[in-house]
């Protein structure tokens, strides 16, 4: 067994701090039929931070602490697609974290994987592209003092949106690469103590963003010219240590990962919160989730538990009551 790197302790300290700031944990969800697709090795820093589902059921994900992009096959086998280089300082100047980390990830229709690398370095921090059978290439630089966390792709406009947890803003980047511009810096995106804007999705003519410190999910309407509305709407609040989220269908119903309480909750119209997955299902500090072909995929990073980082799946109908 390899000795854990010091960065793991830094990440645990961050998670503990977020937990201390959050409100009391929600009641545990009862066990729901869920299946663990893959168990990862915490001692190898396999902490899944974000994911995207491939056609055929494979799952692409980032191992944040290992600085990797990997693919999990339907049989659970893991193949590392890329490992990012360390900055000269080893990542010590990465905002909030104090170590370099691969973060948000999305998949384009042509199989290209786009992902974020937070490294505290102007030469490395930014949006990266990994084409099938290719090598990682940076397509947009982001400031060294940013913490690019969540990533969303609007295939209609050809725009990537980046949630910046440190600077409290959303950046926009052309999918073909180019200059990153501030799309929104609304106060609803700001950090209060540690992490502001976190998860991000494009849905129903809006960009939706979770805010970990504020415990919210915010809807920012897209104007006809692509600019952000100056009237963001807090769609859900009181979400303890909220991380990523996913929509269950064309409506506004959400599934939300709550990192501290080891839960996924359903958020319905009016902000009604219902726990649907919990520790009994195998969750350990869930960091991201995706909905695809009637299934829900949830990555647990085990940032705080240190026990079993994993990837599990459950029936969407079972979590929404539609079965």
Q: What end-to-end distance do the CA atoms of the chain give, in Å?
A: 43
- How confident is the model at residue 313, as a pLDDT? 95
**pTM beyond 0.85, yes or no:** yes
Residue 132 CA to residue 111 CA, distance in Å, equals: 6
At 103-135, the pLDDT tens digits run 999 999 999 999 999 999 999 999 999 999 999
Residue of 181, 187, 118, 192 lying closest to 148 (CA atoms): 118
- How confident is the model at residue 16, as a pLDDT? 45
Q: How far is C-alpha 294 from the chain's CA centre?
A: 20
CATH hierarchy code of domain 6-320: 2.120.10.30
Strand pairing category for 148-154 and 206-211: unpaired
- How confident is the model at residue 323, as a pLDDT? 60
Contacts of 280 (CB under 8 A, 6+ apart): 28, 29, 30, 31
Residue 99 CA to residue 13 CA, distance in Å, equals: 12
Q: What is the largest CA-CA distance in the chain?
A: 55
At 232-270, the pLDDT tens digits run 999 999 998 999 999 999 999 999 999 999 999 999 988
For the chain, the structural domain boundaries read 6-320
- How confident is the model at residue 11, as a pLDDT? 53
Question: What are the two backbone dihedrals, phi and then psi, of residue 16, each rounded to the nearest 5 degrees?
Answer: -60, -40
Residue 323 CA to residue 311 CA, distance in Å, equals: 22
Residue 143 CA: distances (Å) to CA of 74, 87, 272: 37, 14, 37
Q: Which residues in the chain show pLDDT less than 50?
A: 1-8, 13, 16-30
- How confident is the model at residue 33, as a pLDDT? 77
Place of tokens 């793991």: 8
For the chain, give the number of residues: 323
């Amino acid at each position: 067994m390899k000795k854990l790197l010091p960065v793991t302790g830094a990440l645990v300290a961050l998670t503990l701090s977020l937990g201390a700031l959050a409100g009391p944990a929600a009641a545990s969800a009862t066990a729901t039929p869920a299946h663990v697709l893959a168990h990862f090795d915490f001692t190898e820093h396999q902490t899944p931070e974000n994911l995207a589902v491939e056609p055929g059921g494979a799952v692409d994900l980032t191992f944040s602490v290992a600085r990797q992009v990997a693919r999990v096959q339907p049989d659970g086998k893991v193949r590392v697609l890329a490992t990012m280089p360390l900055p000269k300082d080893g990542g010590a100047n990465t905002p909030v974290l104090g170590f370099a980390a691969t973060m948000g990830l999305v998949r384009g229709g042509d199989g290209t994987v786009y992902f974020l690398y937070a490294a505290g370095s102007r030469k490395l921090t930014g949006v990266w592209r990994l084409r099938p059978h290719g090598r990682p290439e940076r397509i947009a630089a982001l400031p060294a003092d940013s913490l690019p966390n969540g990533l969303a792709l609007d295939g209609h406009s050809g725009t990537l949106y980046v949630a910046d947890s440190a600077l409290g803003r959303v950046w926009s980047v052309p999918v073909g690469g180019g200059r990153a511009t501030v799309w929104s810096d609304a106060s609803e995106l700001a950090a209060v103590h540690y992490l502001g804007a976190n998860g991000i999705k494009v849905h129903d003519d809006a960009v939706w963003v979770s805010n970990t410190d504020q415990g919210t999910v915010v809807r920012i309407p897209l104007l006809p010219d692509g600019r952000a509305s100056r009237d963001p709407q807090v769609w859900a609040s009181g979400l303890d240590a909220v991380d990523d989220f996913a929509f269950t269908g064309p409506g506004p119903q959400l599934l939300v990962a709550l990192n501290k309480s080891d839960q996924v909750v359903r958020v319905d119209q009016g902000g009604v919160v219902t726990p649907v997955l919990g520790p009994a299902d195998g969750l350990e500090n869930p960091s991201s989730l995706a909905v695809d072909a009637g299934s829900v995929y949830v990555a647990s990073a085990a940032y705080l538990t240190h026990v079993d980082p994993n990837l599990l799946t459950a029936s969407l109908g079972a979590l929404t009551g539609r079965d």
